[in-house]
Chain A
Amino acid sequence: MKTHLLFNLFATFLLADGLNIEDSAGQFFSSGHTNNWAVLVCTSRFWFNYRHVANTLSVYRSVKRLGIPDSHIVLMLADDMACNHRNPKPATVFSHKNMELNVYGDDVEVDYRGYEVTVENFLRVLTGRLPPSTPRSKRLLSDDRSNILIYLTGHGGNGFLKFQDSEEISNVELADAFEQMWQKRRYNELLFIIDTCQGASMYERFYSPNLMALASSQVGEDSLSHQPDLAIGVHLMDRYTFYLLEFLEDIHPASKANMNDLFKVCPKSQCVSTPGHRTDLFLRDPGSVLITDFFGSVRKVEITTEAIDLTEPIKEVEERPANGDVHKEMHSYVDQLPVSEIIHQKPKQKDWHPPDGFILGLWTLILLVFFQTYGIKHLRHIF
């Protein structure tokens, strides 16, 4: 009996030791992703929606601080608050009252700005259906081993999110976009965070695997804003993102906090609305998913154990013959601004338009008067 106990103890000790060595190697395999991307979208314009831009910029700041480079972040801001005429402190966007934290910083790289933030462009970025002339910084070049963080903020309702005060994206379109991303294997795992009124309605229709979603409020509830700053004159942040930012400030690249901690951010006492989350489509257990799996970019590394033995000396690069064998083509830039046309004011060839209302009315009047005086039966004498 005692020997059994001793044996068990010994065995568990060995097992624990073995697990420890495996643990650091295990980190390599637990998440299955090799790179991280972030798509951060603010969908509202106008000065009084300052808080939405501040929301997005504070998530951008956390994500950059935890390691995701600008080349892997697609930042879409629908309006420019930092250089807005009504901003008493130009080139700043604050997230705390009394101007404590400037989230605009020095090295913000906005990829889609102003009127470029439309539903169409957002869906194009997600599905990858961009015109060939789109530069690399405006594309989401993720592959099947990318973890993507998508953050949306703005004004929303039950089943839709408003873009730019003129159009909306519905939850069905969003779910279809994610399905197309899954079909083309454009993500390994996707974390979707939305901070709008009735945000939980936006993730109701998801049906693709490996999606985890968080929202700041349930259907029927409004997400509330946090603090106004009396000097700037508008509300600076929304509650959910404010407490999310506070939570993220404590995370550093080597931290082991997991998603269950993220779900606890902003309880009803602080947020007034009830944040919701959805994990049924996610294959891993949320407790084993690290925050840095989505918000940071912890690279996996392997030591290079082999090297190839190269013995040949370097070949001298041959000089090109200096005589006129190489024809230099003269290139010139396309005329960007047709100044000559503007200055000389050549009359433009106008396309023919049918006569508009005034001309038509005038001619009708003339014809009426004509027929009134002469009468129709006399026409055959005239013509």
Chain B
Amino acid sequence: MATTEVERRRGQLAALSIAAVVIIVGVPLWWRTTETYRAWLPVSQIKELAKLQLQLSADVEVVFARGTVTPEQQKKVPLTQTQEEEHAIDEDTALRYRYETRYRTATIMEEDALNQPTAAEADLSLHTLSESPCGSLVVYVIPVSSSLLPEDVNVYIGQRRTALLRIGPQMRVGKTLEQLLAHLEPRIKQVLQVMSFSHTDITAALSDRVRFSPDNKESIADSMRAFKSSPGYEITFSLLNPDPKSHQLHWDIEGAVETYIQPLLTKLSPVANFSIDSQTLYYAMLGVNPRFDASRSAYTLNADSLAHVINPVEARLGSNAASSNPVLNFLLYVPDAHHSPLYIQGRKKQEVPSNAFHSPRWGGIMVYNVNGFYGSKTDFPVDININMAKVMGVFLAQLRLLLGVQSSTPPPGFLVAPCGSTGLADWELDRLMWSRSVENIATATTTITSLAQLLDQIGNIVINDNIAQQVSSAVTSLQLAVAELEAGNLGFALQYSKEAILASEKAFFDPSLLHLLYFPDDQKFAIYIPLFLPMCVPILLSLLKIVSEARQRRRDRKAKND
């Protein structure tokens, strides 16, 4: 009897100890070994970034030339005013525009500069006087009677960051400074909309966060045409010669790129890196047959058939296999001798002086007619030197459009100076930098927040240390970029926003973040039950038996006591 008691006791002890080991040692061990490694992410900061509050600050200096302010008004100047405008785009995004306007009178040297005969010369001499920092503007207010601007023009926008504003006739006599400032304010705002940032541009740049539906078709076309912000672009110039038997074409592409295109790209280097290459393709035809127009005794391509020109050519263009940057293709097509001259017709059959067309987010094609260079009875092949200045003029205009530099048509009464030798005015660069910074910040915030959401939702993805580090650096750069935008330092804001976007894209597209471990619940049961059930059943049963015996004994003891 004693041995069975001892054996029973031993059995109970064994069952209890096994249960104890399973619960205390086994379950935590199983938990730790099936855990995925997830490095720490700054989740709270990411949640803060989800609500984007952007403030864009612009500094404007308004300089009154002689004849625009009366001596009493002059005493109150110089003064500084700050205006703020708030726009709420949606529940997560809000914009605030802050304009800090400084009013002052012109110095003697500036007065001399403004005494030049034409606006362009005045602009040039004003540049020599001072250099405005990136993102700021100087507006010179000139009297009504000034001969700098032609009759119907009220505002002249220069090549750097200056504008000449003609004061309205009603401000000539007997008004106070407040009235003068009130008169000037909407006009200066109009200038700012053109030269600095406008609400439509900034909301278009936020399209990654907010899928906006703009009112007019022009802004839809604008947003579709320009390439999205990318750290680098590839530009390829291709010469298409379908008829090498007749035309032996020479183009000095290296020199032309160095002289005409490179200055623009150097000026744009804070925005993106560019790599250029060129090629010549022989026997490359356009995919469309041009029609012969007897009235002009030339072949024509009308606008509807242009859409089908690009695809057959694109297959032969090739691209740089090593990089994933967007490619801009610029094609120069010299028609063959039998189809020369070839002109492009607009939608309403009108002539196109540039003889070129472009495709949004792809590039441009120009048709260059060479039949004028040789007579009818020459020996083929003819050596032809292509006039690169004319060609590059068209390509440069297309490049500006595709990069988003070109803005919409200015309001009436505005005269915009032609861009300088680099092909890009300083204020156009500022505009581009504003919209690129906002676009980068918007894209980086959506990337980071959606990455955080994804990692939160799917518990099985491993988060390595390098991903956590990239995310942290992206968050830091984003915070710095937003702060710099608030302070008005455009250059730094763009740089930080570029860093933020690089880090966030690297983290989001890291190859290790692939979720292939979709386990529906029934599959999880199917895996664990054969492993754990045979082990758990005897333990549970023996525990139940122990508990029921203990209860029985307690009842017996109570019965005995009574």
Contacts and interface: CB of A to CB of B under 8 A. Distances in A.
Given A120-B516, A300-B360, A301-B357, A310 B311 contact: no
Contact of B352 (A303, A308, A313): A303
A123 B324 contact: no
A312 B228 contact: no
Contacts of B298: none
Contacts of A302: 221, 225, 357-360
Interface string A288-316: 00000000011111111111111111111
Interface stretch (A3-11, A98-106, A170-178): A170-178
Contact of A34 (B362, B393, B514): B362
A131 B511 contact: yes
Question: Contact size class for B?
Answer: 35 or more
Given A29-B220, A35-B362, A314-B255, A303 B510 contact: no
B394 to A, nearest CB: 5
Given A145-B361, A180-B454, A308 B423 contact: yes
Interface in B352-366: 352-354, 356-362, 364, 366
Contacts of B353: 307
Interface in B375-420: 388-390, 392-394, 396-398, 400-401, 418-419
B370 interface: no
A116 interface: no
Interface string B300-324: 0001101110110011000111111
A323 interface: no
Interface in B122-141: none
A314 B256 contact: yes
A298 B259 CA distance: 35
B558 interface: no
Contacts of B304: 24
A37 B364 CA distance: 20
A180 B514 CA distance: 11
B208 interface: yes
A135 interface: yes
A119 B394 CA distance: 47
A300 B310 CA distance: 10
A221 interface: no
B224 A34 contact: yes
B327 to A, nearest CB: 9
Contact of A136 (B324, B398, B421): B324
A331 B353 CA distance: 50
Given A35-B361, A69-B315, A124 B421 contact: no
B368 to A, nearest CB: 12
A300 B518 contact: no
Interface in A83-138: 119-120, 123-124, 127-131, 135-137
B393 A300 contact: no
B369 interface: no
A306 B511 contact: no
Contact of A119 (B254, B319, B346, B516): B516
6 contacts: A34-B359, A70-B315, A299-B362, A307-B396, A308-B418, A313-B259
Interface of A: 24-25, 28-29, 32, 34-35, 67-71, 119-120, 123-124, 127-131, 135-137, 139, 141, 143-145, 170, 172-173, 176, 180, 183-185, 253-254, 297-317
Interface of B: 207-208, 217, 220-221, 224-225, 228, 252, 254-256, 258-260, 303-304, 306-308, 310-311, 314-315, 319-324, 326, 344, 346-347, 352-354, 356-362, 364, 366, 388-390, 392-394, 396-398, 400-401, 418-419, 421, 423, 446-447, 450, 454, 458, 508-511, 513-516, 518, 520
The 5 closest A-B pairs by CB, nearest first: A67-B311, A183-B450, A314-B255, A304-B356, A301-B306
